[in-house]
Amino acid sequence: MCKSELHSFLQQLPKCEHHLHLEGALTPQLLFSLAAKNHIQLPKDDPAYASPEALVERYRKFDSLDDFLGYYYIGMSVLLHAEDFEALAWDYFQHAANDGVLHAEVFFDPQAHTSRRVSYDVVHSGFQRARQRAQAELGISSELILCFLRHLPPADAMSTFEQDAVLASFGAGGVVGIGLDSSEKPFPPELFQAVYSKAEAKGLKLTAHAGEEGPAEYIRSALDTLKVERIDHGVRLIQDPALLERVAAKNIMLTICPMSNVFLKGVSSVAELPLREFIDAGVRFSINSDDPAYFGNHYILSNYCAVQEAFHLTTDEWIQICNGSIRGSWCSEGRKEELLARLRLVNSDWRNKHHA
């Protein structure tokens, strides 16, 4: 629970999450229980794997994206069966529901599983079951975004994209778009132009991580060469005023992850993020949790609260942020209307209570 007076308002806002790695929702508790169930030996030479508590302590000391990614890829080695992927995603959706998420567009990393001989169908079917359950039991609509790992060769991304099971999951299979993640430097977006161009031809939505640790130039390249309509993170946009103006004019949405940036030492506190500058320049952004199980259990509401405590936004500014985040979502127009109606209701309730 955050300290802000606006906590109940922030809780009730109809949230859309656009930047959440399902594998990053693997809590140390679930990690250890799946390791035991699946007889996976966790690294013996790293004291962090002595217990879930020791792992939580280690996660507090990440010093960079790559330091985190080392643990992220070891963590997911416990996921073997469709029911494991389902349990992982279901755990996330329950947190999301508690935090007032009504729509979630979630990333997953197929190459990190197929390279361990876990088939795409196993991964996808587990996530699908959790998505259906989230819709039926929690009222959360969701989409999947298939991410390519940029530290692997672009040819690997292409051969993943072209697998029959992958192609079959686009559209009705819940995969609405593609993304690009993992170590940002030295893997500039343009390396992946060919696979993005194929995805565009299939009508998929396009996004990419850029400007998290990498330079603003990576944001420009993601826009120019990959033709993305969103940028994941994008905080380094502040270093290039002309590009910032272009992003604002084109209504490109940044999917910002405040607590992730603090945990991975991109900034020393949330207050250091250029959010005031983005708001003043008309840059659209949504607020997200990235890998909450690795970043102090800061799910989306906790990220909203951290932003409020750092920037003291007005309720009108929050309504603006949520409005942009709904409009920038990749759900149907009908679903957007439902979410916007909910937002109007929260706004009018708040006004009635506080301006009566």
Ligand X SMILES: Nc1ncnc2[nH]cnc12
Residue 91 within binding range of Zn ion, rule CB under 5 A: no
Q: 3-state SS of 5-19? A: CCHHHHHHCCEEECC
213 binds, among ligand X, Zn ion, none (CB under 5 to 8 A by kind): none
Q: Choose between 84 and 109: whose C-beta lies nearer to Zn ion.
A: 109
Shortest distance, position 186 Cβ to ligand X, whole Å: 14
Shortest distance, position 259 Cβ to Zn ion, whole Å: 12
* Residue of closest CB approach to ligand X: 181
In sequence order, which residues have a C-beta less than 8 Å from that of residue 128 and are 6 or more positions away? 173, 174
In sequence order, which residues have a C-beta less than 8 Å from that of residue 283 and are 6 or more positions away? 237, 244, 247, 248, 252, 254
CA atoms within 13 A on the CB side of 311: 23
Contact 197, 158 (CB under 8 A): no
The residue type at 204: L
Residue 260 within binding range of ligand X, rule CB under 6 A: yes
Q: Choose between 19 and 113: whose C-beta lies nearer to Zn ion.
A: 19
Shortest distance, position 76 Cβ to ligand X, whole Å: 10
Q: Is 43 exposed, middle or buried (0-12, 13-18, 19+ CB in 10 A)?
A: exposed
Residue 17 within binding range of ligand X, rule CB under 6 A: no
The residue type at 263: F
Interface with Zn ion (CB under 5 A), residue total 1
Q: Which residue among 16, 65, 199, 210 contacts ligand X (CB under 6 A)?
A: 65
Q: 3-state SS of 144-180? A: EEEEEECCCCHHHHHHHHCCHHHHHHEHHHCEEEEEE
Q: Which residue among 291, 293, 300, 303 contacts ligand X (CB under 6 A)?
A: 291
Shortest distance, position 291 Cβ to ligand X, whole Å: 5
Q: Which residue among 84, 86, 105, 290 contacts ligand X (CB under 6 A)?
A: 290
182 binds, among ligand X, Zn ion, none (CB under 5 to 8 A by kind): ligand X
What SS3 state is found at 114?
Answer: helix
Q: Which residues are catalytic?
A: 212
Instruction: Sketch the per residue contact string, 19 through 38, with ligand X: x for CB under 6 A, - otherwise.
Output: --x--x--------------
> What residues between 273 and 292 interact with Zn ion by CB under 5 A?
290
Q: Choose between 118 and 235: whose C-beta lies nearer to ligand X.
A: 235
For residue 202, how many other CB atoms are within 10 A of its CB? 11
**In degrees rounded to 5, what are phi and psi of residue 289?**
-110, -15
Shortest distance, position 147 Cβ to Zn ion, whole Å: 8
Reference 324, options 291, 288, 282, 290; nearest CA is 282
Q: Which residue among 34, 181, 199, 298 contacts ligand X (CB under 6 A)?
A: 181
Q: Choose between 68 and 120: whose C-beta lies nearer to ligand X.
A: 68
Q: Please state whether the peptide bond connecting residue 258 to the residue before it is cis, i.e. omega within 30 degrees of 0.
A: no
Shortest distance, position 189 Cβ to ligand X, whole Å: 13
First to last CA, the chain: 27
Angle in degrees, 0-180, between the axes of helices 28-38 and 82-98, rounded to the nearest 10: 160
Q: Choose between 9 and 68: whose C-beta lies nearer to ligand X.
A: 68
Dmax over CA atoms of the chain, in Å, equals 62
65 binds, among Zn ion, ligand X, none (CB under 5 to 8 A by kind): ligand X
Tell me the sheet residues that pair with 141: 103
Instruction: Sketch the per residue contact string, 183 through 212, with ligand X: x for CB under 6 A, - otherwise.
Output: --------------------------x--x
List of residues contacting Zn ion (CB under 5 A): 290
List of residues contacting ligand X (CB under 6 A): 21, 24, 65, 72, 181-182, 209, 212, 260, 290-291
